[in-house]
Structure 1
Amino acid sequence: MYTREQASQLRQAFWTAFGQYLSPHLSAEGLKTNWSNYKTGIKHVYFRMQAEKKSASIAIELTHPDLEIQQLYFEQFEELRTLLHESLGEEWEWDLHTTDENGRTVSRIYKEIAPANVFNKDDWPTLISFFKPRIIALDEFWSDAKYSFDSLK
């Protein structure tokens, strides 16, 4: 087992390596992007990548505290479901109003792999191969789709 500090350092090392690996890749709009901490430009709409001991996931996470507004965002993504899945080249899971690790109600559209262990450096290539094409595809999707959320800001 790792101490909390060792686990934190390993996670940080993975995300640093991931960021360096993707840093030469420009966004769909030709801009330099922080892929590990992707900014959607819309409050309460996040693209989140998580890597833990048993699995990893990439998600569109909707965190608006007003659940009706959160549902409006989710419904807007549902309108774009075909475009999203075409951009990603695969189907993702859709959860309206689920609970996150902090007990908050969020909505998520996500893809997960297991087993995958961020604490095992031998798994890092698998994790990078999982995250890279999906975050790039999300960026390509978002470069077109974000304008349909302007009225919800």
Structure 2
Amino acid sequence: MASNQQAEPHIEIGSVMRDTNTGRIGVVQRGPDGLTCLRALSDDDCWEVDANALSSLTSVEMLSARVALTNYESRCRPKAQPAIVRHVRWTLTPDQEPDAEPSTYSMQCVVCSAGSERSEGWQEPQDWALGHSGRNPAHHTFRENITRPWRTFMRT
């Protein structure tokens, strides 16, 4: 004898299901009063549902729901703070170690933004600026760009 009744879906706390009354999808939870609730995937909204009004999701819906839940939890989970083992004072100073990158210099025209190549010496950028002014008499304002390596160390 065949029955026209649908089998009730297996309801497990923590599973993702659809509330057929509202169409909303959520995570199955037990409320403080022992009733079945669904918690929304995108916020902390929680609503009471009739266990008979819950339905399983298709595999595509399940995948989308799990992604939404993971995204929500990663946004809401408190970020771990690094542990402070000890307080130390740090110093910042130009890097003058033998393996430090060299300081470099360049000049840039303020009028047209053209610029010289970076150089480890001053002469090439200065020659470029003088040549640029000679070719462009109205361009007589320049910006000096210095790139200098720095390093930090703990003070003892």
Q: State whether TM-score is above 0.5.
A: no
TM-score, with structure 2 as normaliser: 0.25
Higher strand share goes to which structure?
2
TM-score, with structure 1 as normaliser: 0.25
Higher helix share goes to which structure?
1
